Amino acid sequence: MTWLIQSAVLLTTPPFFLGVIAKTKASFAGRKGPPLLQNYYDLIKLFRKGTVHSPASSFVLRLAPAVIVSTLLTAGLFFPLLGRAPIFFEGDVILFAYLLALGRFAMILAALDVGSGFQGMGASREAAFGAFSELAFFLGLVVLVVISGSASLTGIFQWKWIHPAWRPVFLLLFAAFFFILLAENSRMPVDDPSTHLELTMIHEGMILDYGGIDLGLILYGSAIKLFLLMAFAISLLWPQPLAWHWHSAALLGLKWTGMAVAIGAVESVTARLRLIKVPQLLIANFVVTLFALLVALFGRRV
């Protein structure tokens, strides 16, 4: 039952939250903004189109969209979205992290495959920033494993031992994962998803050569990635109850929408960082997780 519902939620809801972000940003700018379901319309439009591949590209370019979407969907099955995750075992945390990394790897390879200057720049930026943000991501996982004593996502996000005390370590971790979420999903202040200036793009730069179904898959993949990392961050403060009730679906909608609004607000009130400063910020983020580790190891247990 949970298995079916989780798969359905994972497959259908992610693009909705991109719509929420867009609406939030529009309201900050005093505009109406696109309809909440615009991303679904875009995806349907793209899925009905054909694709064109550059003659300079190889099978890597064609394979990447499928790899990206399938790794993300598989990773989603390990996450306790509604109660227990459909698949869980000790150590699935590592698999989760590496599935995300595999998706990124496929994307970078595909960008390099065409051999265009813009995509090369996008790929090199993605690889450099990815290396920094993964550092913090893995350390954050270590902290979670240390405090929960479990190496499974389902074990980590258990309602009973986090609630009701908001321990400082979780606040630190939430801050770190919120920033990882922004960096990994090419949101402000790291990348600007709304402009298409050739020389400044990261994510948009890498997917320049895609169109039609492939582009649709990649955009769908980005939405799932955002959804999963939002799940990760919000579950640190407010995890889903382990037992399945119908109201946990409503709870999920509420929490994710709140996260999306928060992302939209952050994007609206800050300008994008100078590209050269991004690694500094990512390292600062790593330091925050390091503090979290110290607190987890030496802090007084409540």
Partner 1 sequence: MKSLFTALPNGGSIPQSRLPLLEIELWRQTILEHCLKDQARIVALFGERGSDQRIRVYCLLGADHQKLLLAGAAELTPANPAYPSLTTHLPEAHLFERELHEEYQIVPEGHPWLKPVRRHGSYPYYRVEGDGIHEVAVGPVHAGIIEPGHFRFQCDGETVLHLEIQLGYQHRGVENLLVRAGRGRRAVLAESIAGDSVIGHGLAFCQALEGLAEICAVTKRAHGLRGIALELERLANHAGDLGALANDVGFLPASAYFGRLRGEFLNLLMELSGNRYGRSFVRPGGVLFDLPPGMTGDFQNRLKQALHEINELSGLLFETASVLARLESTGILPGGLAKELGLVGMAARASHLARDVRHDHPFGIYRWNPIHPVTLSTGDVFARAKIRSLECKQSLKYVLALLEALPAGKILEPCENLRPSSFSASLVEGWRGEIAHIVLTDATGGIARYKIVDPSFHNWPGLAMAMRGGQISDFPLCNKSFNLSYAGHDL
Footprint on this chain of partner 1 (rule: CB under 8 A)? 25, 28-31, 117-118, 120-121, 188-189, 192, 194-200, 267-277
CB of 261 to partner 1, least distance (A): 15
CB of 118 to partner 1, least distance (A): 8
CB of 182 to partner 1, least distance (A): 12
CB closer to partner 1 out of 12 and 270: 270
CB closer to partner 1 out of 212 and 279: 279
CB closer to partner 1 out of 169 and 281: 281
CB closer to partner 1 out of 27 and 70: 27
CB of 279 to partner 1, least distance (A): 11
CB of 18 to partner 1, least distance (A): 16
CB of 196 to partner 1, least distance (A): 5
CB closer to partner 1 out of 53 and 272: 272
CB closer to partner 1 out of 90 and 198: 198
CB closer to partner 1 out of 119 and 150: 119
SS3 for the chain, per residue? CHHHHHHHHHHHCHHHHHHHHHHHHHHHCCCCCCCCCHHHHHHHHHHCCCCCCCCCCCHHHHHHHHHHHHHHHHHHHCCCCCCCCCCCCCCHHHHHHHHHHHHHHHHHHHHHHHCCHHHHHHHHHHHHHHHHHHHHHHHHHHHHHHHHCCCCHHHHCCHHHHCCCCCHHHHHHHHHHHHHHHHHCCCCCCCCCCCCCCCCCCHHHHCCCCCHHHHHHHHHHHHHHHHHHHHHHHHHHCCCCCCCCCHHHHHHHHHHHHHHHHHHHHHHHCCCCCHHHHHHHHHHHHHHHHHHHHHHHHCCCC
CB of 126 to partner 1, least distance (A): 13
| Crossing angle (nearest 10°) for helices 212-237 and 92-114 | 150
Distance CA 37, CA 77 (A): 24
CB closer to partner 1 out of 49 and 196: 196
CB of 298 to partner 1, least distance (A): 34
* Integer angstrom CA distances of residue 239 from 68, 74, 85, 100, 261: 26, 20, 13, 21, 18
